[in-house]
Structures are given as C-alpha cells and as structure tokens.
Structure 1
Amino acid sequence: MSDKHTANSVPPVNDDTRKKKPGFLKIIQTVLAGALGVQSNRRREEDFSSSSPLPYIVAGIIFVLGFVVTIALVVQWVIHAYGNQG
C-alpha cells in the first residue's frame, strides 16, 4: 500500500488541528450567519470544536452593539427628517 490517502480513507485526526484558533474572517462569517439564522450544521460543529468561545462572544457583542447603534441612528434621522411635517 502507498502512503497517500485514497478518496475513501480518513486522514489522521490530530488534536492540534481540531483545536486551532479561528481566523478573523471565519469569526465574522459565523456571527453574521448566526444573526441571520442561516448557520449550517457543519459550520456550527466547527465553531464549537474551536479552542475558545471568547472570540465568538466578543464578535457577537460588538455586532449587537453596532446593530443597536445603527438602528438608533436611523430612527433619529427619520424622526429629524420627517418629524416636523405634521
């Protein structure tokens, strides 16, 4: 047999590869997908197998704060722009 893996073989699992830190883009994609409710089961399992939930928690809090501030600014703008017409 050769050392190369065939299409049906499973590569060896290393705990270091399973517990690696997620990248910035992956965290952002996960937070946005979670906010929209379109997270795939495979991606969710990858996220839960990462080394620490802290990056996801921080990114989620930043997203929620940014979302709330954006909504508040839009409401203030609409009230200011259209509130004096009555």
Structure 2
Amino acid sequence: MSNNNEQKDPDQRPRFIQVVHSVLAAIFGVQSGANRERDFQKGKAGDYIGVYVVVVVAIVIGMFIVVNMVLSAAQGG
C-alpha cells in the first residue's frame, strides 16, 4: 500500500497514529522528508509536543524499571 492513501483530504490534519509515528521516527532520526513536510504544514505543534512528552516519560520509566531489575538480579535478590 502507498502512503498516498493515508489521507484522502490533503488539507486534513494528521491523525493521532500519524503523529505518534512521526514522533517515534523523529526520536530515532529516521523521519522521511514527506512526513516531516506534512507535519510542519498541517500538524499542530501542541499535538506533537504532547505525544513527545508522553513517549519520553515512558522511555525513562521503562529504563528505570529495566535498570532496577538488572541491579536486583546482579545482587542475587
């Protein structure tokens, strides 16, 4: 399937899943030029900032949990 089918109306704002996809792609540095252009032209900054904050908090909490599990296993308890 082509990305041309993602949005039928060219003036439509990006959907929530597209915002999440764009934020994750930007975090890992693999955002495509077409998606970046769509985000800047049709997206609202608040949507992207909100999703970014939630994703970063989730990553930090996940790392905290993993580090605690590894330290607990290394100490034998």
The change in CA–CA distance for 1:75 and 1:51 in structure 2 (over 3 A counts) is: closer
Identify unmatched segments of 5+ residues in structure 1: 1-15
Identify unmatched segments of 5+ residues in structure 2: 1-8
In the superposition, the TM-score normalised over structure 1's length comes to 0.72
Give me the identity figure in percent: 32
1:78 aligns to 2:70 (yes or no): yes
Counterpart in the other structure of 1:7: none
The CA RMSD measured in Å over matched residues stands at 1.8
Counterpart in the other structure of 1:45: 37
Aligned length: 69
In the superposition, the TM-score normalised over structure 2's length comes to 0.79
Q: Which has the larger radius of gyration?
A: 1
1:30 to 22, 26, 45: 22
Q: Which amino acid aligns with 1:34?
A: A
Query: Which has more helix, going by share of residues?
Result: 2
